[in-house]
């Protein structure tokens, strides 16, 4: 399936290649470079490129292009998912999936790739199995290795590959038995200029960190499982139990994993935790503009909204911004034309406000579009959908684990759109006839 893999950095250097079948010349990447040049920005490179007798399927992660070469029909998502999995494995092993990390650990990377694919077909992709086969590097181990000459490759055999629960290795031992669950919710919303909601939904995940001895069998139940509209599970979750009882029953993998990601049903109204009043206008003459933004809390259920960032992508003609913020501070990057306002905590009493003037390029026409605002925020100890974990039970093992649940709400793709004047004309014209 996957014939070869090339890793390409942002300056179009192929810094790693791996072939699972016969060797394919790296000149095949020329097709990719051609398309890349045409696309301009990295994110606009189409994931699938037809390159002569080959097909290139690529992903872009952490400023690296993972370009895989395919020779025959294969589901593109299969390859894309696999490449992302590779990137995640690197992340898992080296803490980051950057070019330097990969270059520093090129041998481990190569060993990993060797294990993950056999003849282009995924073999061992579960991180637990891989970690048994190839130990992740850490400082202590690399020191020891350099002195003793011992190696990173595990001495044991990957028994996990043989078991029916490949995600968990046998014989796990911990002195502190802990299980932590993080319920993280992201609000995706589009607000219009008046602050009313055009579209809003909540996407959530439950990330778990389970360090438990032996083979625990966990059951996690919710106070209000009906909230979860659309869910996708880690393979360890027993689907039938969920279908019938709406509880999560599973033998957890060891360590960190994503137990569940969900979507909160659309019927439940999404509480938008903040409101934004914005007014960005540009004057016809004098090449300047005015900006006035106020942010305030709304429906936060008694929790404070933290780490509020407002990011605005300004039109190209905006040269600089001269603003005053009543809270937090702002930066304007004249190269990327982005204005970032770091507000911090939102308080009920004093509403943060950013106000001032914008300088435009002289002589340039006034920009037609008013820019949209992207908002980042965080609320601790609250799942904005109201999801609550009821209890966690453990079967199969005797000890008592320490259990913890944490809730965080974040802004996902939270955007305030500007309504345009065209809209008004447009709707108005529906009835009146054009005079020409």
Partner 1 sequence: MTPMQKLLQLPVNAVNIVKTVQAQAQEEARSPVLTPDSIQQNWYSAVQPEELRNLKVAGTGGGDSEERAPLEEGVTSAQTQPLRHDDLKEMLDSNKDSLKLEAMKRIVAMIARGKNASDLFPAVVKNVACKNIEVKKLVYVYLVRYAEEQQDLALLSISTFQRGLKDPNQLIRASALRVLSSIRVTIIVPIMMLAIKEAASDMSPYVRKTAAHAIPKLYSLDPEQKDQLIEVIEKLLADKTTLVAGSVVMAFEEVCPERIDLIHKNYRKLCNLLIDVEEWGQVVIINMLTRYARTQFLNPNVNESLLEESGEKAFYGSDDEEGKEEKAEAAALAKRKPYVMDPDHRLLLRNTKPLLQSRNAAVVMAVAQLYFHLAPKAEVGVIAKALVRLMRSHSEVQYVVLQNVATMTIKRRGMFEPYLKSFYIRSTDPTQIKILKLEVLTNLANETNISTILREFQTYIKSMDKDFVAATIQAIGRCATNIGEVRDTCLNGLVQLLSNRDELVVAESVVVIKKLLQMQPEQHSDIIKHMAKLTDNIQVPMARASILWLIGEYCEHVPKIAPDVLRKMAKTFTNEEDIVKLQIINLAAKLYLTNSKQTKLLTQYVLNLAKYDQNYDIRDRARFIRQLIVPTDKSGALSKYAKKLFLALKPAPVLESPFKDRDHFQLGSLSHLLNAKAGGYQELPDWPETAPDPSVRNVEVPEWTKCSSREKRKEKKVEKPFYSDSEEESGPTESADSESDSASGSGSGSESEESGSGSESEESREESESEQEDKEDEEDKRKKKKKTDRGKVKAPAVESPESEESSGAEEKNRAQKVKGRRSGSESESEEEEESESESSRSESESESESESDTDAKKKKKAPVTKPPPKQAKKESKKEKKEMSLLDLDDFEPTPSPQVTPVNNFLSSSLVTDLEGLSLTDTVMAPTTIAPSGSVKTYELLHRITGEGLGVEYCFSRQPFSPDAHMVAVQIMFTNNTNAETKNLHVEDPKLQSGMRIKEFPEIELLPPGEMVTVVMGIDFCDSTQAANFQLCTHIRKFFVSIQPPVGELMMPVFMTENEFKKEQGQLMGMNEISEKLTLGEKCQNEHGIVQRVTSAANVSRVPCGSDKECRFAGKTVSSGILVLVTVATKEERAAQLTVNCEKMVIGTMLVKDILQALTQ
With respect to partner 1, which residue has the nearer C-beta, 221 or 313?
313
Nearest approach in angstroms of CB 13 to partner 1 is 10
With respect to partner 1, which residue has the nearer C-beta, 362 or 436?
436
With respect to partner 1, which residue has the nearer C-beta, 151 or 170?
151
Nearest approach in angstroms of CB 245 to partner 1 is 15
With respect to partner 1, which residue has the nearer C-beta, 149 or 302?
149
Nearest approach in angstroms of CB 276 to partner 1 is 15
Nearest approach in angstroms of CB 266 to partner 1 is 8
With respect to partner 1, which residue has the nearer C-beta, 324 or 431?
431
Nearest approach in angstroms of CB 360 to partner 1 is 15
With respect to partner 1, which residue has the nearer C-beta, 35 or 351?
35
Residues 57/70, Cβ–Cβ less than 8 Å: yes
With respect to partner 1, which residue has the nearer C-beta, 175 or 267?
267
With respect to partner 1, which residue has the nearer C-beta, 54 or 403?
54
Nearest approach in angstroms of CB 117 to partner 1 is 10
Nearest approach in angstroms of CB 63 to partner 1 is 14
Nearest approach in angstroms of CB 7 to partner 1 is 9
With respect to partner 1, which residue has the nearer C-beta, 263 or 355?
263
Instruction: Catalogue the long-range contacts made by 31-37 (C-beta closer than 8 Å, 24 or more residues apart).
Output: 31/56, 32/8, 32/56, 32/58, 32/65, 32/67, 36/12, 36/65
Nearest approach in angstroms of CB 333 to partner 1 is 16
């Amino acid at each position: 399936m996957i014939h070869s893999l090339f890793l390409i950095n942002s300056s179009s250097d192929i810094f790693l290649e791996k072939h699972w079948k016969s060797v394919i010349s790296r000149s095949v990447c020329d097709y990719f470079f051609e398309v890349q040049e045409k696309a301009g920005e990295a994110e606009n490179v189409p994931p699938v490129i037809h390159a002569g007798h080959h097909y290139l399927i690529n992903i872009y992660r952490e400023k690296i292009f993972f370009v895989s070469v395919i020779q025959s029909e294969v589901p593109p998502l299969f390859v894309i998912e696999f490449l992302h999995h590779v990137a995640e494995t690197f992340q898992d092993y080296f803490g980051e999936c950057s070019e330097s990390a990969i270059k520093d650990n090129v041998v481990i990377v190569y060993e990993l790739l060797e294990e993950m694919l056999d003849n282009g077909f995924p073999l061992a992709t579960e991180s637990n199995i891989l970690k048994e086969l190839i130990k992740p590097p850490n400082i202590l181990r690399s020191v020891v290795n350099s002195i003793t000459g011992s190696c990173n490759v595990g001495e044991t055999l990957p028994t996990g590959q043989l078991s029916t629960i490949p995600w968990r290795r046998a014989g796990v031992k911990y002195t502190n038995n802990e299980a932590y669950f993080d319920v993280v919710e992201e609000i995706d919303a589009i607000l219009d200029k008046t602050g009313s909601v055009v579209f809003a939904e909540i996407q959530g995940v439950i990330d778990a960190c389970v360090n438990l001895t032996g083979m625990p069998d966990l059951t996690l139940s919710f106070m209000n499982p009906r909230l979860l509209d659309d869910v996708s599970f880690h393979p360890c979750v027993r689907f039938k139990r969920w279908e019938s009882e709406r509880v999560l029953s599973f033998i957890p993998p060891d360590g960190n994993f994503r137990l569940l990601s969900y979507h909160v049903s659309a019927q439940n109204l999404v509480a938008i935790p903040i409101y934004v009043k914005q007014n960005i206008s540009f004057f016809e003459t004098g090449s300047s503009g005015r900006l006035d933004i106020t942010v305030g809390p709304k429906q936060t259920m008694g929790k404070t909204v933290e780490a509020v960032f407002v990011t605005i992508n300004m039109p190209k003609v905006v040269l600089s911004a001269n603003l005053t913020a009543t809270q937090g501070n702002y930066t304007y990057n004249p190269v990327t034309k982005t204005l970032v306002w770091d507000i911090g905590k939102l308080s009920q009493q004093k509403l943060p406000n950013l106000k001032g003037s914008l300088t435009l390029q002289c002589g340039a026409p006034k920009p037609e579009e008013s820019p949209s605002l992207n908002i980042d925020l965080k609320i601790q100890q609250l799942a904005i959908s109201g999801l609550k974990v009821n209890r966690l039970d453990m079967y199969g093992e005797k000890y008592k684990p320490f259990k913890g649940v944490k809730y965080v709400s974040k802004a996902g793709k939270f955007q305030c759109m500007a309504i345009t004047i065209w809209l008004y004309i447009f709707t108005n014209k529906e009835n009146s006839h054009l005079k020409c």
